[in-house]
A and B are shown apart, each in its own frame.
Chain A
Amino acid sequence: MRKNLRLTEIQLLIVPAMLPVIGMLMVILVPRQQVNWDAKDLWMTFVFFGLLIAAHLTLTFTLPRSDQMLLPLVSGLTAFGLIMSQRLETVRTGNIASRQVIWIGLSYLVFIGVVIGLRNVMRLKRYKYTFLVIGLALTGGAAVAGTEVNGARLWFNLGFFSFQPGELLKVCLVIFLAGYLDDKRDLLQAPFKIFGIPFPPLPYLLPMVAMWAISMGLLFFQKDLGPAQLFFGVFLIMLYVASGRAWYVLAGITAFGLASFLAYQEFNHVQTRIIAWTNPWPEGQDRAYQIVQALFGFAQGGVFGKGLGYGAPNSIPEVHTDYVFAAIGEEMGLAGTLGIIALYVLLIYRCFHIALQARNGFYQFLSIGLASLLGLQTFIIIGGVTKLIPLTGMTLPFISYGGSSLLVNFAIAGILIRISAESNPAGGDRS
C-alpha cells in the first residue's frame, strides 16, 4: 500500500506549491507599495495549489508507479510562469495573469486527460501517418488562411485566443518519426551505394529529405530560423539515436546550414536577427532594441537580481512571451537563471532516463524525441535571449505566457508519464 503513495512526489511538490505564495505576494505587493494583503490576492495561488493536488491524486490512483519527478519539475517551471505572468502584466498586455491561470488549468486538465485517457501509448504508433497528416494540414492551413503575427503566418485566430498549430505540429512529427523509425529500424543496416559512395538507406534518406523540406517550408513561411532549427534538430537527434551514425547528422547539418545561408541572403528578417546577434549595440534604438534591452536587464540582475517586482523588465518589448527569461534574469539574477536552467536540465535528463527504461523501441524513440524537443527549444530560446546564438522567436517551455505552447507541453509531460508507467508495470518506487 505504502508503495502506491508517491511520497517522493508529495515531498517534491511542496516547493512548487509554496513558490507562488511568496512569488505572487511579492509581485502584487511591491508595485502596490504596501504590506497589506488579503486572500483575494492569492486566488491564483489557490487555483494552482488545487491543480497540483488534482494532478497528484490522479497519478496516485491511476498510475502509482509512474515517474515521480516529472510532475514536480514541470509544476515548478509552471509556477515560475504563473508568477512572471502576474509580474509582467501591464496595461498593454491586458490581464495576462488570469488568462495564464486559465491556460494552466486547461493544461493540467490535458495532462490528467492524457494520463487517464491514453490507455495504451502504442496506439499513437498505429496512427502515426494520421498525426503526420493532421500536423501538416494544420500548419498548411495556417500558412494559407491563418493570421499574420510578427510577419509569420502560423497562427489561427479563434476569436478569444490565437492558436499556433506549429506547436501541435512538433508533437505530431515526433510521434510520426518515432513510429516510422521504429518500424524501419531493422531494414536500416543495408548499405546503399551509388557510384561507390555510401548513402543512407532509403528509409533514412526519404524522411531526411522530407523533414528537410518541411523545415525549409517553415523557414519560408515563418521567415525565421527558429522552428526550422528546432524541427530539424529534433529529427537529426532521433535519426542519430535510431541509426547510431553521426555521419548522417553532419550531412543534415551541412544541408541545413546551406539553406540557412540562402535564407540569410534572401530575408531581411533573418539578416536583422544576425545583426542583432553579432553587433546589436549600434542598432540598440531600432533593429536590436529588444535584445539590447534584454542585455541591460541581465546586467542589472547581477548575482542575486533586483528582487521580484523591483526591476523594470517591462522596458523589453514582448517580455512576457519570448523574453520572459530576461525578466527572470533581471529580477532573480544569476542565481535565478542558473536555477531555472538546472530545473530544465533535470527535466530533460529525467525524460532521457524514462527513455532508457522504456519497454520498446517506439517508446524509446518517442521519449527521446519529446525530451530533445523540450531541450532544444529551451536551448534555442535561452541561447537567443542571452545573445549566445542568433535569436529566434520561440516560447520558453512551461514559463512563457501563451496557451498553445503550455497545452502542448503538458500533453508531452502526460505522454512521458504514461510511458514511464507502462515501462514499469510491476516495479517498485524507483525514484
Chain B
Amino acid sequence: MRSTFRFFCGLVATAAVIFGFFYRPQNEINNRQDTTWLLSLLVAGIALLGLLWVGKAPFTRKRGLDPEDRLRHSVQRVSSVLMVGFILISLQLLRQQVVIANEIEKPFDAVNSRGKEVLIQDPRLINQALANQRGRIFDAAGNEVAGIATSKFKLVKRTYAENSPIKQLLGYFSPLQFGNSGLEGQYDDYLSGKFGTNPFATLQRSLLNQPTQGNDLYLTVDPKLQQLAQDTLGPIPGSIVLLDAKSGAVLAMVGYPRFDPSELVFDPTVDDTLWNDQIQQIQQRWKAFNDDKSQPLFMRPTQGLYVPGSIFKTVTLAGMLDTGKTKPDTAWKDEGSFVVDAYKINDPNRPNKNTSFTTRQGYMFSLNAVFAQMGLQLGAEGFRTYADKFGFGKELPFDLKTSRSQLESTKDYLASRVAQAETGFGQGQIQLTPLHAALIAAAMGRGDGVMPKPYLVQSIKTRSGQLIKETEPEKWLETVRPETAKTVKEIMTASATEGWVGINGGNLKGSGAVVGGKTGTAELGNNINNAWYIAWASKGDRLFAIAVVVDHRASGEGLQDAMPRANKVLTAALAEVK
C-alpha cells in the first residue's frame, strides 16, 4: 500500500517535471512568464515530499514508542523537506542555465507597468558585440573607408572616412539594433574574425580575455572613379556601374537615393548614460529611412530592377545572330511603324525616310520595327534560351545581395506575338539590374561572349596584413558563341561610331579607345522613362564596361540622360590607361 503510494508520487513528480520542461504555452513565451513551469514544480515538489515523507525510517523499530526513534524519524522528514527544496533548485538551475537559456538571451520587447516601451537585453551580449575589434575596409588605393575607434572601456565604434563615396557600398553596421547589411552583412564572418583567423591565435586571445580580432577587406573600387561616378550621377535617382570587363572587378558602383551608414552607427565610446538617447535617435533615423518612399536603404545598382528598353536589343541581336536567323547585312522592312496582330508599334528612330534597313543599321539606329520583327522570329523559345544564357532568372553571384533579372513576370507571357515583338526591342516584361546590364556589355565587349563573375572584394587580410583570401577572376556564364560575340562587338562599335550613339558623342574621340555602346529609353507610361546606356571601351590591354540608368525620369532619354554620364566616367577611366 505504502509502496504503491510512493510509486504513484514518484510518477507524478517525474511527469510534472517533464511536462514543465516541454510544455510552454505561447502566451508565456511571449510574456516571458514561468507560471506553468512553477506550478508543475510545485506539483513535483509536493509529490516528492509525499514520496519521502511516508518513507519508512530505517531506524524505526516500533514507530512512535521510543522517543529516540521518533526524533530520528522527524529528522529524516525534516531533511527530506530540505532535500526536496534543493532538488527543486537544481531543476530550476537546469532550466535557467540550459533548457531556456537561449530564449532568455534573446532581446525582449515589453511594455512596463508605467506603460513605457522597453527593450530588455543582456548587456553582456552588447559588450561582446561592441568589444569585437572589427576588421577595417580599404579601397583599391589603400585608403581606409571604414575603421574602428576603441573607447577606454574597450568598446569599439565603427568609424568612416568622411565623405567617402564608397560608404554607400558598405551597408549599415548595427549589431545591437538592426543587424548588418551590405558588405558588413555579407562579410560579417570575416570582419568579426569568426572566419579567416588562425584558430590558435583565436584561442590565445580568448584565453587572455582579449576581444576577437577581425580581418580587413580590400575592395576593387577605385576611389577617384567612384567619386566621379557619384558626382556625375548627382542627386538624381539612378545607378552607375563600372566594371573591369576582363576580370569582373567592380571599379565604381553608385546609386541614388542612398544612405550614409554613419547615421545608423552606434557610438559606444560616449558615456553610457547617453546610450538610451542615442539608441532612440538611431531608431528614429531608421524609421525615417524606412518610411522614405524613395527607399534610400535599397541598394539600387545590385537590387534595383528596371525595364531596359533598347539596350535589350543587344540580347535580341546576339540571340538572332547566334541561331543564324539573321546576318548583319540582312535587310528588314521598316516604314516608321510595325503592326503585329492589329497592335501598332511606332518607330520614331529612323535616320532617314528609307523603308529598308540592315540588321546592323537596325541596331545602330535602334529601330524598333526591325527588332519587333526579330523578336517574332526569335520566338518565345528563342528568347527563353538566350535570356537564360545571359543570366536572366538566375541568381547573380556577387559580394552584395542581388536581385534576379527577369524576362517575363507572368507565366507564358511570351506566347503572344505582341509580347514577342515588344520584348524584341526591350519593353514587355523584362526587368534587369544595372549590374547585370554592365555584365552584358562586358560579355559582348570581350568578344568571346563570356560573362565574368563580378566582385567587389579583392582580398581579405588579417589586421597585420597577412593574406587570407585573394579573389581570382572567374567566369560566370558563357552567353553566345565567340564568333557571334565578335559580330555583336563589331555592330556595337558601329553603333558608337556611326549610329545615334556615335553621332551624339559616344565615340569618345581623343581618348584613343575603341568603344561600343547602346542607349535605351524604356517607356513606363505618363512620359516617365528609364534612360539607359551600356557600353564597353577598350584601350591597351584594358577593357571597361559600364551601365548607367537614370530611372523613372520625366521625359528621360538614354542619349541625353544616361550616355553623357557614362562618357564622363569612361573618359576618366581611359585616361588612366597608358
A contact residues vs B (CB 8 Å cutoff):
30-31, 33-35, 237, 240-241, 244, 275, 278-279, 281-287, 292-293, 295-303, 309-312, 315, 329, 333-334, 337-338, 341, 344-345, 348-349, 352, 355-356, 364, 368, 372, 375-376, 379, 382-383, 386-388
Task: Tell me which residues from 81 to 138 in chain B have a Cβ below 8 Å from any Cβ of chain A.
Answer: 81-83, 85-86, 88-90, 92-94, 96-98, 100-102, 104-105, 108, 110-113, 118, 120, 122-124, 127
With both chains docked as a complex, state the minimum distance between the C-beta of B59 and any C-beta of chain A, in angstroms. 8
Q: A34 with B108: in contact, given A282-B118, A386-B92, A388-B88 (CB under 8 Å)?
A: no
Measured CA separation A352–B77 after assembly (Å): 11
Main secondary structure on chain A at its contact with chain B? Answer: helix
- Is B124 a contact partner of A312 (Cβ separation < 8 A)? yes
A82-B375 Cα distance, complex, nearest whole Å: 85
The 3 closest A-B pairs by CB, nearest first: A284-B120, A282-B110, A299-B104
Contact status A315-B123, CB under 8 Å: yes
Q: Are B112 and A285 in contact (CB under 8 A)?
A: yes
Q: How far is the CA of A355 from the CA of B82 in the complex (A)?
A: 15
Query: Which residues from B are CB-within-8-Å of A379?
Result: 82, 85-86, 89
CB of B105 within 8 A of CB of A299, answer yes
Say yes or no: is B74 at the interface (Cβ < 8 Å to chain A): yes
> What are 19 A-B pairs with beta-carbon distances under 8 A?
A31-B209, A240-B74, A244-B73, A275-B113, A282-B112, A282-B118, A285-B112, A285-B120, A296-B104, A296-B124, A299-B97, A299-B100, A299-B122, A302-B101, A310-B206, A352-B78, A356-B72, A372-B78, A388-B38
* B481 interface residue (CB < 8 Å to A): no
* Contact status A337-B97, CB under 8 Å: yes
Pick the contact of B31: A281, A337, A352 (CB < 8 A).
A281
C-alpha spacing A285/B64, complex, angstroms: 55
Contacting pair A315 B124 (CB below 8 A): yes
A334–B105 CB distance below 8 A: no
Which A residues touch B395, using CB under 8 A? none
**What residue of chain B has the Cβ atom nearest to residue A35's Cβ?**
B208
Residues of B at the A interface (CB closer than 8 Å) are 31-35, 38, 41, 64, 70-75, 77-79, 81-83, 85-86, 88-90, 92-94, 96-98, 100-102, 104-105, 108, 110-113, 118, 120, 122-124, 127, 206, 208-210
Query: Are B70 and A279 in touch, CB under 8 angstroms?
Result: no
Across the two chains, which residue of chain B brings its CB closest to A311?
Answer: B124
Is there contact, CB below 8 Å, between A386 and B209?
no
Q: Is the CB of A334 within 8 A of B75?
A: no
Point out the residues of chain A lying under 8 angstroms from B75, CB to CB.
241, 352, 355-356, 368
Chain B nearest CB: distance from A56 CB in Å? 28
Given the complex of chains A and B, what is the CA–CA distance between A334 and B95 in angstroms? 10
Question: Smallest CB–CB gap between B78 and chain A, Å?
Answer: 5
| The one of B82, B89, B105 that contacts A388, using a Cβ cutoff of 8 Å | B89
A338 — which chain B residues lie within 8 A by C-beta?
A: 90, 93
Partner of B78, one of A275, A310, A368: A368
Asked if B78 contacts A284 (CB within 8 A), the reply is no
CA distance A309 to B207 in the complex (A): 10
Q: Quick one: which of B35, B72, B78, B97 contacts A237, CB cutoff 8 A?
A: B78
Q: From residue B299, how far is it (CB to closest CB) to chain A in Å? A: 36
Q: Do B122 and A296 touch (CB < 8 A)? A: yes
Question: Given contacts A281-B110, A286-B112, A329-B93, are A383 and B74 in contact (CB under 8 A)?
Answer: no
Q: How far is the CA of A293 from the CA of B123 in the complex (A)?
A: 8
CB of A279 within 8 A of CB of B89, answer no
Q: How far is the CB of B167 from chain A (nearest CB, A)?
A: 33
Cα-based distance from A275 to B114 in the complex (angstroms): 14
Contact A279 B31 (CB under 8 A): yes
- Let me know if A241 and B74 touch, CB within 8 A: yes
Residues of A within 8 A of B120 (CB): 281-282, 284-285, 292
Which A residues lie within 8 Å of B113 (CB)?
Answer: 275, 282-283, 287
Within the complex, the shortest CB–CB distance from B535 to chain A, in Å, comes to 56
A295 to B33, CA, bound (A): 13
Quick one: which of B33, B89, B108, B208 contacts A33, CB cutoff 8 A? B208
For the complex, what is the distance from the CA of A364 to the CA of B75, rounded to whole Å? 10
The answer to whether A298 and B97 have CB atoms under 8 Å apart is yes
The distance in angstroms between the C-alpha atoms of A341 and B85, with both chains bound, is 11
B108 cross-chain contacts in A, Cβ below 8 A: 281, 284
Contacts of B78 in A (CB 8 A): 237, 240-241, 352, 368, 372
